[in-house]
Amino acid sequence: MGSIVAQASEENNATALLMVGMYDITKKSNNTGKMFDPSNPITGFQSKEKQRLAGWHAIIKSGELGNPVAAMIGGSALLFGDLDPDMKDHYPQPDKALGIKLLDSAHNKGVGKASQYLAIAYHVGLSGVEKNQSKAKEYVLGMIKNTLYSENDKLNYLLPMLYALECAFGKNIPKDFACAFELSKWVAEFGKGKYMINGRSYAGLAAALIVQMHEPATGMDLIVKTKENEAISRHYLEISVSEDDALGEQYQALFYEAGVQGFPMDKKRAVYWYEKALNHKYLDEDQNSRYLLVNSLNRARSN
C-alpha cells in the first residue's frame, strides 16, 4: 500500500511541477520587466529571466519524475533550445544527453511528438546528435504507434514516407520489407488528403509503394504472392489512384496492358491511364520517370 501511495505522490508532484513550470515560462511580465514572486517576501518580484529558468527547472524535474509530457517539453528544450540564437536565452542551458534521455522516456510512454523529435535529430544529425538513420527508423516507427499532437504537421507523414522508401530500397539502411510495409500502410491510411510541397499525395505515393512491393509486374515483388496479398495490392492501388498519384496510375495502366492483378487486358484503358499519369506537373522534376512513362505509353499504343 505504501509503495502505491508513494507512486501516486510522485506522479502528483510531477504533474504539479509541470503546471508550475509552464506557468513560469509562459507568464508575461509587467511593464518593469519583472514578475511577481510570492516566494520572495522582500521585493515581491523577480526578473522574468530568473522565473523562466525556474520554470524550465520545474518542467525538467517533472520529466525526470516520469511525466511524459514534461519529458517531451523539457527534453526538446534541452536538445534544441540553442538552435535559434535569438531565442536561446528563452531556454535552459543545453544538455544533449539529458535531452535525449527525457525524449526517449516520453517516446517509450507513447508521446509521438517525442518520437518525432528524436527521429529528426538522428535523421539529420541535429543539435550535435550523431546522424544514425537506423535509430531514426526506430523512432519513426514509434511516431506511427504513439499519440501525435497535430494531424496537420507534415513531418508526421514525411518522415514515415521517407523511411518506408529507405526500408524498401535499402539506400542508407538495411532493407526491411516488414518496416516498409508497416510505414507505407500507415501513411496510405492516415495521409489521405495530405500533400507534399510538389502537390503529390503522401497517401498516394505510399499506397503505390505497397503495390510495388506486392506485384511482380512492377519489377519488385518483395512480398510472397498469395491471394491475400493480391487483395492487399488491389486495395492500395485503389487508394493510390483515388489520391491522383502518377505511380498508382502507371501501375493501373500496366495491369490493364498486361491483364494481371484481376484486370482484363484492355489496351485502350492502359493508354488512358498512362496519359493520365503523364499529366502530373511534379514529373517535370523526375525526368527519368517521365521517360519511362512515355515509353510505356508508346508501347501500349503500338500494340
| Last residue in a domain, options 64, 83, 106 | 106
Which among 84, 106, 128 is the end of a domain? 106
Q: How far apart are CA 44 and CA 256, in angstroms?
A: 78
Comparing 26-30, 34-38, 205-209, the range with the smallest average pLDDT is 34-38
The Cα 117–Cα 126 span in angstroms is: 10
Checking if the pLDDT of 277 tops 60, the result is: yes
177 shares a domain with 98: no
CA pair distance 270, 277, nearest whole angstrom: 11
Instruction: Specify the pLDDT at position 68.
Output: 93
pLDDT tens digits, 147-156: 765 666 788 8
Would you say residue 173 has pLDDT above 90?
Answer: yes
AA letter at 219 = G
For 38, residues 6+ apart whose C-beta sits below 8 A from its C-beta are: 44
Top pLDDT among 149 and 229 is at: 229
pLDDT digits (tens, 9 = 90+) for 234-275: 899 999 999 999 999 999 999 999 888 788 999 999 999 999
- Per-residue pLDDT band for 214 (boundaries 50, 70, 90) equals confident
pLDDT at 188: 95
- Total number of domains in the chain: 2
In a domain, 158, yes or no: no
* Percent of the chain at pLDDT exceeding 90: 48
Whole-model pTM over 0.85: no
Sign of the four-CA dihedral 232, 234, 235, 236 = positive
Q: Of 60, 77, 106, which residue is a domain's last?
A: 106
Of 49 and 178, more confident: 178
Give per-residue pLDDT as tens, 97-144: 999 999 999 999 999 999 999 999 999 998 889 999 999 999 999 999
Q: Is 99 found in the same domain as 6?
A: yes
* Residue 303 and residue 178 share a domain: yes
- Residues 6 or more apart from 150 whose CB is under 8 A from it? 156
- Domain assignment of residue 220, given as a range: 172-303
User: What integer pLDDT is reported at residue 143 of this predicted model?
Assistant: 93
